[in-house]
Amino acid sequence: MKQLSTLSIAVITTLASHSLFAQEPIAIIEPAKITQPEKVELGKMLFFEPRLSKSGFISCNSCHNLSLGGVDALPTSIGHNWQQGPINSPTVLNAEYGLAQFWDGRAKDLQEQAAGPIANPKEMGFTHELAVSTIDSMPGYQSRFAAIYGKDSVNIDNITDAIAEFEKTLVTPNSPFDKYLEGDKEAISESAQAGYQLFKDKACSSCHNGPAVGGTMYMKMGLVKPFHTNNPAEGRIAVTGKESDKHVFKVPTLRNIELTYPYFHDGETWTLEEAVNTMADIQLGAALTEKETKEMVSFLKSLTGEQPQITLPILPPSNANTPRPLPFTN
């Protein structure tokens, strides 16, 4: 009898918490389900592969550093020949949850995104043709592509497909906030709980929602007051051509936001306190008290999840057929 009632209580508690959290704007991040481990491993090699750049020096991991929350922690990125990038590098962590990729959503998915920087003259500065020749010159890559995609299958679509498959594994489950959502009320501080309530009450969650706490929509940066920046990026208008999309950007994820400073598309804001107050001001026309700011920051810090544990790949050596890097050529 006693065991039965314990079970009943557990069932009731579970149902109650499910019905409660069904109404929450934020969903938990699930651990990665790896169904194609060979493709993920190949994608990891390519993610860390500096020979996908003209210089032989810049890899995906250079600007989406998995030691640093999937970003470079710089206002804007450093590209080929130390060129200054136009916009803050978004995190690769939980990026799969985005409705599209890049700040302006110009790539429909992770695969399409991965092709961009390789051939961007201000980023990796290479060409898809040379990237393919480089990878295809190495038997260590050829055999892996053959096993996954079939014979003679080293091409840009498969290179970016493998990178995307690896990136899909870069999720950060089990944050304190997720444990809280799952019913562990002790998982986050009272201050963080108050911050979450505020986050909902002030309607932050009307844009920052879903598993990634962002990435589900486009929104104007500077909804009630203009956002002051020297950064010339105009956002989604570059994709749609619509005047109404000027200064409209993909809402960024708030997962691991403690790690992904500096903030906003211009990367000019270094602290969460300042970022929160700027958002309140320009998106809501509101001012937070010092206590409210602290609570909001406590909540945001509870969104830092378990970082992917990555074993550094060992890359196959170049050989006489591999195009040589050109680090000091513009």
CB-nearer residue toward a second copy: 75 or 90: 75
Indicate whether 270 belongs to the interface with a second copy (CB under 8 A): yes
Indicate whether 315 belongs to the interface with a second copy (CB under 8 A): yes
The residue annotated as part of the active site, out of 123, 167, 292, 295, is 123
58-117 residues in contact with a second copy (CB under 8 A) are 62, 65-69, 72-75, 78, 81-82, 84
Minimum CB separation from a second copy for residue 147, in Å? Answer: 21
- By the 10 Å C-beta count (0-12 exposed, 13-18 middle, 19+ buried), 241 is classed as exposed
Indicate whether 56 belongs to the interface with a second copy (CB under 8 A): yes
User: Position 324: which residue type?
Assistant: R
SS3 call for 79: strand
Q: Which helix (H) or strand (E) holds 83?
A: strand 83-84
Minimum CB separation from a second copy for residue 316, in Å? Answer: 9
Is 165 noted as a catalytic residue in this protein?
A: no
- By the 10 Å C-beta count (0-12 exposed, 13-18 middle, 19+ buried), 9 is classed as exposed
Q: At what angle do helices 37-47 and 139-149 cross, to 10 degrees?
A: 140
CB-nearer residue toward a second copy: 218 or 264: 264
Note whether 58 and 123 are within 8 A (CB): yes
The residue whose two tokens read 């497909």 is 161
Minimum CB separation from a second copy for residue 299, in Å? Answer: 16
Indicate whether 173 belongs to the interface with a second copy (CB under 8 A): no
Indicate whether 327 belongs to the interface with a second copy (CB under 8 A): yes
Minimum CB separation from a second copy for residue 82, in Å? Answer: 4
20-49 residues in contact with a second copy (CB under 8 A) are 48
Residues 6+ apart with CB under 8 A from 275: 263, 264, 269
Per-residue mark of binding to a second copy, 226-265 (x: CB under 8 A) = --------------------------------xx-x----
By residue count, the chain amounts to 330
Minimum CB separation from a second copy for residue 110, in Å? Answer: 20
User: Position 267: which residue type?
Assistant: G
Q: Provide the token pair at 202.
A: 């002030």
The C-alpha atoms of residue 98 and residue 228 are separated, in whole angstroms, by 26
Note whether 39 and 162 are within 8 A (CB): yes
Q: What does the binding site for a second copy look like in residue numbers (CB under 8 A)?
A: 48, 50-51, 55-57, 62, 65-69, 72-75, 78, 81-82, 84, 258-259, 261, 270-271, 307, 309-315, 317-320, 324-325, 327-328
Catalytic residues: 123
